[in-house]
Amino acid sequence: MSSKEKKSVTILTESQLSSRAFKDEAYEFYKELRKSQPLYPLSLGALGKGWLISRYDDAIHLLKNEKLKKNYENVFTAKEKRPALLKNEETLTKHMLNSDPPDHNRLRTLVQKAFTHRMILQLEDKIQHIADSLLDKVQPNKFMNLVDDYAFPLPIIVISEMLGIPLEDRQKFRVWSQAIIDFSDAPERLQENDHLLGEFVEYLESLVRKKRREPAGDLISALIQAESGGTQLSTEELYSMIMLLIVAGHETTVNLITNMTYALMCHHDQLEKLRQQPDLMNSAIEEALRFHSPVELTTIRWTAEPFILHGQEIKRKDVIIISLASANRDEKIFPNADIFDIERKNNRHIAFGHGNHFCLGAQLARLEAKIAISTLLRRCPNIQLKGEKKQMKWKGNFLMRALEELPISF
């Protein structure tokens, strides 16, 4: 094998990480990485050289490492700044997921009061009503695609009402969300995604104009008022924050509800145990988060200062990507890590991240999943896969672990 061929074998590309084939084999691949190559080289196109992290302890360390930055402006000089891949990139990236302290603290403070324990609990009756209404529509058919008919509409309705955006626009959000989380740098995909993001920006501009004229008691109105205070939110930060809340407010929860249902139906003993002991629901949700983590790979972190990891120098400007899915199956942390066990003890998974960027909506996602799964099992006691397990397909997507569909009968 030539040196050129060796390189193509040993360095993963963004397109490979995003492929369906990779998703199908990812857990076995991660297992090998944790054993022998916990720091794995990546080639990320315009983003440059990167490293994939697969072990839990490394993930915990790096998710809190101040040498890693989410905002590339804190790493690159003006001359080194890479050109934007998308025309609307700057307008939609000034949010807290791409920021570092103190900006991150400022942005997070503006929205975290909407996600307090008290505020989330006030949504319980509303979420229950949404779950029942969705099942009312499909129950006479004794069949549904869980993704389209239940797992997607439930969280998008919840976050739409929190933000104060028209419910009839929810299908648009689905298309725009996919464009945002699609990391492909293929020219044709870039062009398509740029067009979709342009539509999203136009939508946000129109929405914000309306909220300025007619403010209400919703989260977008609150963010606009914060922006109009003078120094708290720029226009780009406002649009970016709304975008982040729309995408993060439903995308991960869709995957949590879908992946948990899928795991239960693939492990009938655990499904039956949960039916017999509904008080295990909270533990079952944590295990589902660990077993099929909704976010498979973190968004990128840039190396601001070089450091050594596993004998390898991580250079300034290198990209670090952490596999939450791999860390959550690390055998050194989770005994029998490949076993789905809803009674697992000391489940220290990091499905919602760790450190400053721990998911703000974690509690809401847990509540939505608890109500969604409990209601589904109560109202549809004979739930089963429609088709064979091998027919279920994971989406080709860089960030997420998401099923294309989940047909079920009951």
Is the predicted pLDDT of residue 282 greater than 90, yes or no? yes
pLDDT score at 227:
60
Per the structure, how many domains does the chain have? 1
Q: Which strands make up the sheet holding 39-43, listed edge to edge? A: 12-13, 39-43, 49-53, 319-322, 301-303, 68-69
Is the predicted pLDDT of residue 140 greater than 70, yes or no? yes
pLDDT score at 316:
96
The DSSP result for 165-233, as a single string, is --GGGHHHHHHHHHHHH-----HHHHHHHHHHHHHHHHHHHHHHHHHHHS--SSHHHHHHHHHHTSSS-
| pLDDT band at residue 85 using 50, 70 and 90 as cut-offs | low
Is the predicted pLDDT of residue 130 greater than 90, yes or no? yes
Is the predicted pLDDT of residue 6 greater than 60, yes or no? no
Q: Rounded mean pLDDT of 316-329?
A: 98
Rounded Cα gap, residues 114 and 226, in angstroms? 14
Tokens 């720029």 -> residue: 234
pLDDT score at 233:
81
Query: Which of 220-249 are b and which e, b meaning 16 or more Cβ less than 10 Å from the residue's Cβ?
Result: bbbbbebbeeeebbeeebbbbbbbbbbbbb
Strand pairing report for 312-314 and 307-309: antiparallel
> What would you report as the CA-atom Rg of the chain, rounded to the nearest whole angstrom?
21
Q: What range does the domain containing 250 cover?
A: 3-409
Write down the mean pLDDT value for the chain. 90
Does the pTM of the predicted model rise above 0.75? yes
What digits encode the pLDDT tens for the residues 203-250? 999 999 999 999 998 999 988 887 655 557 888 888 898 989 988 889
Tokens 């990891």 -> residue: 309
Rounded Cα gap, residues 174 and 171, in angstroms? 5
What digits encode the pLDDT tens for the residues 353-401? 999 999 999 999 999 999 999 999 999 999 999 988 888 999 998 999 9
What's the CATH code of the domain at 248? 1.10.630.10
Is the predicted pLDDT of residue 1 greater than 60, yes or no? no
pLDDT score at 4:
39
Q: Quick one: how far is CA 241 from the chain centroid?
A: 15
Q: Quick one: how far is CA 319 from the chain centroid?
A: 19
Query: In terms of pLDDT, which residue wins out, 8 or 41?
Result: 41
pLDDT score at 88:
67
- The set of residues, in sequence order, having a beta carbon less than 8 Å from that of 249 and lying 6+ positions away, is 155, 156, 158, 159, 162, 163, 361, 364
| pLDDT band at residue 87 using 50, 70 and 90 as cut-offs | low
pLDDT score at 7:
38
Rounded Cα gap, residues 374 and 382, in angstroms? 13
Q: Which two tokens stand for residue 314?
A: 């991580």
H runs (alpha helix) in 100-139? 103-112, 117-121, 124-138
pLDDT score at 186:
65
Rounded Cα gap, residues 398 and 358, in angstroms? 19
Is the predicted pLDDT of residue 3 greater than 70, yes or no? no
Is the predicted pLDDT of residue 404 greater than 90, yes or no? yes
Tokens 């890479």 -> residue: 82
Integer CA distances (angstroms), 23 to 17, 53, 123, 277, 339, in order: 8, 16, 34, 32, 18
pLDDT score at 184:
62
pLDDT score at 8:
40
Is the predicted pLDDT of residue 5 greater than 90, yes or no? no
